[in-house]
Chains A and B, each alone.
Chain A
Amino acid sequence: MIKDITIGQFFPGKSVIHRLDPRIKLLLTVMYIVMLFMADSFAGLGAGILFLLISFLLSGIPMKMMAKSIKPIVPIIIFTGILNLFFISSGDVLLEWKFIKITSGGVTTMVFMAVRIVLLICGTSLLTYTTSPITLTDAIERILSPLKVIKFPAHEIAMMMTIALRFIPTLIEETDKIMSAQKARGADMETGSLIKRAKALIPILIPLFVSAFRRAEELALAMECRCYRGGEGRTRLKQLRTAPRDYFAVAIGVAFIAAVIVLNRFSPI
């Protein structure tokens, strides 16, 4: 059900990956994405797979969470796959029927893109599986803070993200509760025509919005009561500090990028 949404879900733990500095983890994620986009051979993607597997194993997150994170994007993968399959015409023609022409180049690109998207999602999910949203936004604030010089509201943006992230689970829970309550009153959201189902959402959306506004107001009030005045002069409870393992992790990331470059050179598609 609605609870199965795992993107952005945090699995507390004490693994090496969990303990990496969140800024380093963000950096590594960016490096990983760069690596995936630089790879233009299956060997290069292989390096990406290796990097992902190692990280997953180190993190102690069950492998099946990987599958769970891919589930919501399956339609996107299929859609891009079909586009690639039909619109790329390079290499040998494998099949020709009326205006449809499938080529070996199309097939290769389709597989290549699918693997790339899957890797992309799995890797970024690992970041959120192992980093609590609060630490993550903390890291983002720190990374963006040099931009404060040019009046960029780094703290405010980070605070907005923190609040938004903080309320995702709450709102999901709330939606679940309201859905149950309306179902108990005989609301039917699973059958009927599209219009009927859209109408069936009203009893859920209205209470949800009402409660979201109420929560926002309460939160604003609570923050003001604690004299929240933005980021000016605020100190933090948890200082971010890099440790040797962070530098080690970056070194591994660099090594992998280098490997991808080399592999591109020697084994084109």
Chain B
Amino acid sequence: MGIIRTEDLTYIYGEGTPFRKVAIDNINIDIDEGEIVGVIGHTGSGKSTLMQHLNGLLKPTSGKVFIDGEELFADKSRLKEIRFKVGLVFQYPEYQLFEETVYKDIAFGPKNMGLDEAEVDRRIRETARLVGLREELLAKSPFELSGGQKRRVAIAGVMAMEPKVLILDEPTAGLDPRGRDRILGLIKEYHAEKGTTVLLVSHSMEDVARTVSKILVMSDAKVFMYADRSSVFARADELTSMGLTVPQVTRVFDRLRAMGIEFDDEVFSVDYAKDLVLRLLEKKRRHTVD
């Protein structure tokens, strides 16, 4: 049994009003510890709703959620404890900053966990380094930072709680390509360094493809599939009909393969594509020389 498991999880917004909306419908997932998973789906497919169930912010209309083998809402007094295990970074997390200094804001989570000063300080410095915030920024007001910096402060605030599962809901929304690359890079680094489970919600396949190893595809409140990258992209046509796209490079290389060029790996990122092309060219050159 994985670290995150759900059983027939269903959630309905506005039950009993004209705005009734089934946001997630009979979700059964099982995610192993240490995995880095991309959660993808079109707008309104229920990604955020599902994520909020995983740390007990929303109570299921029906069904169950298990974190680390323990059922959420079985014992309400344990809820806070479990919440510390599952760190959730919301969409546009910079709007939750409130403290006078970046340092204090990152300290909010760890302090709520009841850690002592020294430990809180250690964690702040460590996560600040992880997300690439310079020391002198720690004394600044979070409201004086740039959008991308604010975003990284907010992410650090959750990382500093050292959760067993880190969930990031659209961490790259509204950032420019450089800011996006930075955030994705730091998520990958965090995962490599800590080895904890990471869930990355996004509707950009490009983002997900080069960051994660497994993908959970949601469509119309249901799980469409949960599998590793290449098996998901193998169903490109179905993804396209759901309004999702396979990364451009992957499509290009699929075509190349269809045209008879031989190579073994799946291609998910431009950097990797570059290496592959260079390698292939090198091989070809050697062929012709021989």
Q: Write the residues of chain A forming the contact surface with B, with a CB cutoff of 8 angstroms.
A: 3, 11-13, 64, 174, 177-178, 180-188, 202-203, 206-207, 210-211
Question: From residue 46 to 83 of chain B, which have CB atoms closer than 8 A to chain A?
Answer: 52, 55, 57, 80, 83
A186 and B84 contact, Cβ closer than 8 Å, known pairs A181-B93, A210-B143: yes
Closest to B91 in A: A177
A-B residue pairs, 10 tightest by C-beta? A186-B112, A206-B98, A185-B109, A181-B96, A184-B88, A181-B90, A180-B57, A203-B98, A207-B98, A207-B96
Question: Is the pair B98, A184 in contact by a Cβ cutoff of 8 Å?
Answer: no
A12 and B96 contact, Cβ closer than 8 Å, known pairs A186-B113, A186-B161: no
Question: Is the pair B112, A188 in contact by a Cβ cutoff of 8 Å?
Answer: yes
Q: Distance (Å) between the CB of B115 and the closest chain A CB?
A: 11
A186 and B90 contact, Cβ closer than 8 Å, known pairs A178-B96, A207-B97: no
Question: From residue 90 to 123 of chain B, which have CB atoms closer than 8 A to chain A?
Answer: 90, 93, 95-98, 108-109, 112-113
B247 sits at the interface (CB 8 A):
no
B157 sits at the interface (CB 8 A):
yes
Question: Is the pair A202, B98 in contact by a Cβ cutoff of 8 Å?
Answer: yes
Most-contacted residue by chain A among B14, B83, B97, B112 (CB, 10 A): B112
Docked pose: A57 CA to B31 CA in angstroms: 50
B87 sits at the interface (CB 8 A):
yes
B18 sits at the interface (CB 8 A):
yes
A185 and B112 contact, Cβ closer than 8 Å, known pairs A180-B90, A207-B95: yes
Question: Is the pair B80, A186 in contact by a Cβ cutoff of 8 Å?
Answer: yes
Closest to A185 in B: B109
Question: Is the pair B18, A186 in contact by a Cβ cutoff of 8 Å?
Answer: no
Closest to A210 in B: B143
Most-contacted residue by chain B among A177, A186, A203 (CB, 10 A): A186
B158 sits at the interface (CB 8 A):
yes
Q: Distance (Å) between the CB of A122 and the closest chain B CB?
A: 17
Docked pose: A178 CA to B18 CA in angstroms: 25
Question: Is the pair A11, B55 in contact by a Cβ cutoff of 8 Å?
Answer: no
Q: Which residues on the A side are within 8 Å of B98 (C-beta)?
A: 202-203, 206-207, 210
Of A185, A206, A210, which is within 8 A of B157 by CB?
Answer: A185
Question: Is the pair B87, A184 in contact by a Cβ cutoff of 8 Å?
Answer: yes
Q: Distance (Å) between the CB of B72 and the closest chain A CB?
A: 13
Closest to B97 in A: A207
Q: Which residues on the B side are within 8 Å of A181 (C-beta)?
A: 88, 90, 93, 95-96
Q: Which residues on the A side are within 8 Å of B17 (C-beta)?
A: 11
Q: Distance (Å) between the CB of B197 and the closest chain A CB?
A: 16
Q: What are 11 pairs between A and B in contact, CB < 8 Å?
A: A12-B18, A178-B96, A180-B57, A180-B90, A181-B96, A183-B57, A184-B90, A185-B157, A202-B98, A207-B95, A211-B95
Q: Distance (Å) between the CB of B235 and the closest chain A CB?
A: 33
Question: Is the pair A186, B143 in contact by a Cβ cutoff of 8 Å?
Answer: no
Closest to B57 in A: A180
Q: Which residues on the B side are within 8 Å of A182 (C-beta)?
A: 96, 108
Closest to A180 in B: B57
Question: Is the pair A185, B161 in contact by a Cβ cutoff of 8 Å?
Answer: yes
Q: Distance (Å) between the CB of B101 and the closest chain A CB?
A: 13
Closest to B157 in A: A185
Q: Which residues on the B side are within 8 Å of A177 (C-beta)?
A: 90, 95
Most-contacted residue by chain A among B17, B52, B96, B97 (CB, 10 A): B96
Q: Which residues on the B side are within 8 Å of A211 (C-beta)?
A: 95
A184 and B158 contact, Cβ closer than 8 Å, known pairs A203-B108, A210-B143: yes
Q: Distance (Å) between the CB of A121 and the closest chain B CB?
A: 19
Docked pose: A206 CA to B94 CA in angstroms: 12
Chain B 221-257 near chain A by CB (<8 Å), digits 1 or 0: 0000000000000000000000000000000000000
Docked pose: A233 CA to B113 CA in angstroms: 59
Question: Is the pair A180, B83 in contact by a Cβ cutoff of 8 Å?
Answer: no
Q: Which residues on the B side are within 8 Å of A178 (C-beta)?
A: 95-96
Q: Distance (Å) between the CB of B110 and the closest chain A CB?
A: 9
Question: Is the pair A180, B108 in contact by a Cβ cutoff of 8 Å?
Answer: no
Question: Is the pair B52, A187 in contact by a Cβ cutoff of 8 Å?
Answer: no
Of A13, A180, A185, A186, which is within 8 A of B52 by CB?
Answer: A180
Docked pose: A182 CA to B80 CA in angstroms: 12
Question: Is the pair A185, B143 in contact by a Cβ cutoff of 8 Å?
Answer: no
Q: Which residues on the A side are within 8 Å of B90 (C-beta)?
A: 177, 180-181, 184
Docked pose: A207 CA to B157 CA in angstroms: 15
Docked pose: A184 CA to B113 CA in angstroms: 11
Q: Distance (Å) between the CB of B190 and the closest chain A CB?
A: 17
Docked pose: A246 CA to B226 CA in angstroms: 58
Contacts A177-B95, A207-B96, A210-B98 supplied; 12 other A-B pairs, CB < 8 Å: A11-B18, A181-B95, A182-B108, A184-B55, A184-B57, A184-B88, A184-B158, A186-B112, A203-B96, A203-B98, A203-B108, A211-B95
